[in-house]
Structure 1
C-alpha cells in the first residue's frame, strides 16, 4: 500500500500528532484524518476526514466505500457475515448531525438496516421530538431526534450509532442514555471512521455500559491517539484572522433548478428512512440525476455541495453524475468555524463564511476548499492498494477545466438569505465559480407519517 510521507502542516507547526494504534481494515489513522485547527474554546483542533466529504471535495466512490467498510465492521459486530447478509437486518441505525448524517446512511444501506435516522439541529414544524442530547466539544451542541413515529425505535433490535470520529465516547454515551430512557434495549454498537479514545475514555465508556446494564460494542476503520501540545488553545486563539471569501478577477454565474422529488420518499434520515424506502429513493435519485446532467457542462468537472445535514442525497447525486460521465467530487457546508490557511500540507486551504439561510438561525455557516483537487497527494488510498486520484483541495491545476458547483439544498434553505449579497450563492460567484442551485423539496414529516400509516417496522 502506498503511504503518504509528507508531514501535515498542523503537525509540523503546532505539534498536533495523530498516532495510529490498530486497524482491522489495513488503513492508518493519518490516512483517514488530517489535523486541522479551529477557534473553539472547547477544542482547538479538528480532525479533517479524507473519506467523509465534509471539508474536502472527495470522490463519491471513496465516501461510499468508507461507509461500506464501516458497515461491514458493524455486521461482524452483530454476528452477521458481511458476504451474506439477509435482505434486511433487524437493526436501527442513528447518524450524528451534522457530520455523520451521510456516513450513517451509508452504513445503514450497507447492512440493510430496517430503519435509519439521523439527529438534527433543525426543529422542523410538525415533527415530534422523541429525545435530545448534547455534544460537549461541538460548535453546535444540541441534537434532536424527530422520527415520524416513536414506534420506529420500539422493539429489542440493536441500535447502531454512527459518527465520523470518536474522541472520548461521551456523545455516544449521552445519546444512548437518552434513547435508553425511552426504549431500553440490551445491545448498542458505536461505529466511527476513527476511534481516538484514550484508555481512560474507554474505561469511562465501559463504566457507563455497566451502569445502564447494556452491551456497547465499538467498531471503527482504525484506532489511534490524538497528541496535543500544551498551550495549543492559546496559540490557535492568537493566530491572525484567516482570509475568507476570496474574490476572483471574473465573477461566476448563478442558475437555479427545482428538482422533482416524491413527497412520500424521504430525502434522507431526518424523519426516519425505512429499508422499504430504498427502491423509491433509488428511482428518485436516478430521475434527479437525469434532470440535472443536461444543466451541467459535461466537459467540466463538478463539485456537488450539500447543505449541512443534507449529505446523503447530494452524495448519491454526485455518484450518479459521475456514472453519467461528468467527473464529480462531493462535500457539504458546515456550522463549524475551522481555521483556514493556504499552506501546503494543510487541508483547509480556502474558506467561505455566509449567513445561515434558515431565517430562524442567526449563526454563521462555512464552506471549505470548494475547488477541484490538485496533484498534492492525499493520505487515503481507497478502496484498493493502488494510488487513487482523491487529493486535498488546493489551487486548481491549469490542465483541468475550471470546476462548476452544483449546490444542493432543500426547500427550507432556499430563502432570501441564500441569495442576498454575502450569502452562499454570492460568495461562491464572487470567487469565480459557476453555480447551479438545485432545490429539493424537503420531507414533510406529516405527509411522510400519513403515507406510512401504521406500517412501521
Structure 2
C-alpha cells in the first residue's frame, strides 16, 4: 500500500501499484513520475511527470535530457533509416518531441499535432479518444519527409492503449506508406492485447512498428468515483481568497522571432507546420540572440512559464541561463484535481481562459508553492495587454514580485 494512498484516502480514496519490467537505461522511476487524479471520467488517473516541464516545474536540463535519453534508447534499439519525420502529440508531448528531433542524428523533419484550427491549411485530423480534448490536427503540406521519408517516429510522454497511435498510423499509411513506424515514449504501459493490435496492424499495412521507451511495465489504479466527484464539485464552488502583492511589477518583453510566412499569427520554428534540421539551427541562433533581452541576476529564483503547446521555445530560453536558479513548466488544458496535502503532487490550481482559444479553459498548477521571485511568461502570439489580465491576476496573488510577459511574435 502506497503512502499516497494512506494520506489521500479521506479525500480521494484512490490507490495504485506500479510494476516496472523494462528500464533500458537503468534510470530511477521515482525521479520521473508521480500520479494525480483528473477531472475526466474517460480516464481518471494522470501520470504527472517530474521532468517533462508541463504540470510540475522542473530544471531545464531534466526536461531536455528526456529527449536525449529517448534518442539514446532509440539508437540502442535500431539504426536510423535514410530519412524520416518526428511527430509529437499536443499538448503535453510537444516539447518532448522537439527535443527528440533535436538530438536525432539523421535527416529527419519535425512536426507536432495541434488543437489550433488554421484555415487554408491541409490537415490530417484524428482523435485521441480518452483525452479531455480529443481532436488533433496535423498540418503536413510543408513537409518533405511526410511524403518521401522512410520512417515516422511518434513521440508522446505515455502510451497506455496505443489507440491514438493506431489511429494516426492508419491515416498516414493511407496517404504515404512508410517502411517503419517507431513509437517513442517515457512510459509504456501497453498490455499483451495492445501489442497484439499492433502486430495485426503491421500485417494490415505491410510496415514494421517498433517501440522505444525509457520505462515499460504495468500498473493498477483504483478509486472511489463518488468521493472524487464530490471533491470536484466542492472545489468548483470554492471562492479562492487572495492576498494581493502590493509591490507587484509587470513588464513586457518583445522578441523578434521569425514568423511563419503563410500565417504570421504563429512563429515559424515551433514545429506546428514542420521544420527541418537547418530550421533547428536557425532557431537556436535566434534564441541565443534574443535571450539578451532577458535580464536575470545571480541568486534569483526564477520561473520560465510556457503557454499550452508553446513549450519548447520557452524551454530553450530558460536553457540560456544554465547555472542560475531557473525552473520551467507550462500552462495546460489538463483538468487535474488539486489537493494540498503531502505527497499528492498537484496542490493548487489556477484556472484561466486560453490566450489562443478564448473558449477553452486552461490551468497553471502549484505556481504559489515555490517562492519564485520573478516569472517570465511566454506567449507565442501577439496580444493586447488587456488579454493578459487573468495571468497578471494569478501571478500577482502569489509571492512572485515581478512578472515579465514575453511576447514572441511582435
Which residue matches 1:19?
19
Higher-strand-fraction structure:
2
Cα 1:31–1:432, aligned 2, differ >3 Å: closer, same or farther? Answer: closer
In 1: Cα distance, 2:78 partner to 2:339 partner? 43
Contact persistence 1:37–1:339 (CA under 8 A)? yes
**Which of the numbers 329, 336, 344 marks the counterpart of 1:331?**
329
Deviation at 1:205, TM superposition (A): 2.4
Q: Does 1:348 align with 2:372?
A: no
2:132 pairs with 1:139: yes
Q: CA deviation at 1:321?
A: 2.0
By how many angstroms is 1:71 displaced? Answer: 1.2
Contact 1:147/1:270 (8 A) holds in 2? no
**Does residue 119 in structure 1 map to residue 113 in structure 2?**
yes
2:271 aligned with 1:278, yes or no? no
Q: What per-residue deviation string (whole Å, max 9, x for no partner) do you get for residues 283-305 of structure 1? A: 1010121111x2x4444121111
Q: Please, which of 237, 243, 250 is the counterpart of residue 229 of structure 2?
A: 237
Change beyond 3 A, Cα 1:404–1:188: same
Tell me if 1:93 matches 2:91: no
Question: Structure 2 vs 1, CA of residues 11 and 316 (structure 1 numbering), >3 Å: closer, same or farther?
Answer: farther
1:193 matched to which residue of 2? 186
Is 2:269–2:280's contact at 8 Å kept on the other side of the alignment?
no
CA–CA distance in structure 2, aligned partners of residues 166 and 197 of structure 1? 7
Once the two structures are superposed, residues 199-241 of structure 1 have per-residue CA deviations (whole angstroms, 9 ceiling, x without a partner) of: 2222222222222222110110001212012x54343222253
1:419 matches 2:388: yes
Mapping of 1:312-327 within 5 angstroms? Answer: 312-323=312-323, 326-327=324-325
Q: Which residue of structure 1 lines up, in the alignment, with residue 56 of structure 2?
A: 56
Asked if 2 retains the 8 angstrom alpha-carbon contact of 1:335 and 1:364, the reply is yes
Report the alpha carbon displacement of residue 277 of structure 1 after superposing the two structures with TM: 1.1
- TM-score with structure 1 length normalisation? 0.80
Distance in 1 between the 2:288 and 2:332 partners? 26
User: What value does the CA root-mean-square deviation take over the aligned residues?
Assistant: 2.4
Please, which of 94, 98, 102 is the counterpart of residue 105 of structure 1? 98
Q: Which residue of 2 aligns with 1:255?
A: 251
The Cα of 1:30 is off from its aligned counterpart by: 4.2
The structure 2 residue matched to 1:429, chosen from 379, 388, 396, is 396
SS at match of 1:192: strand
Secondary structure at 2:83 match in 1:
strand
Say if 1:8 and 1:34, in contact at 8 Å, map to a contact too: no
In structure 2, relative to structure 1, the CA distance for the partners of 1:224 and 1:30 (3 Å cut) is farther
Contact 2:367 2:398 in 1 (8 A): no
C-alpha change, 1:260 and 1:233, in structure 2 (3 Å) is same
CA contact (8 A) 1:120 1:270 kept: yes
* Count of aligned residue pairs for this structure pair: 394
Q: Residue 404 of structure 1 aligns with which residue?
A: 374
CA contact (8 A) 1:28 1:222 kept: no
Q: How many Å separate the matches in 2 of 1:307 and 1:96?
A: 15
TM-score between both structures, scaled by the size of structure 2:
0.89
| 1:365 matched to 2:362 | yes
* Conserved 8 A contact 1:405-1:435: yes
| 3-state secondary structure, aligned to 1:18 | strand
Which residue matches 1:448?
A: none
Q: Is the contact between residue 53 and residue 330 of structure 2 (CA under 8 Å) also seen in structure 1?
A: yes
Measured in 2, the distance between the counterparts of 1:57 and 1:278 equals 25
The answer (yes or no) to whether the contact 1:407–1:438 under 8 Å persists in 2 is yes
Q: Does the 8 A contact of 1:247 with 1:432 survive in 2? A: no
Q: CA deviation at 1:140?
A: 0.7
Q: Are the structure 2 counterparts of residues 255 and 21 from structure 1 closer, same or farther at C-alpha, using a change threshold of 3 Å?
A: same
Contact (CA 8 Å) 2:83, 2:149: kept in 1 or not?
A: no
Aligned to 2:42: 42
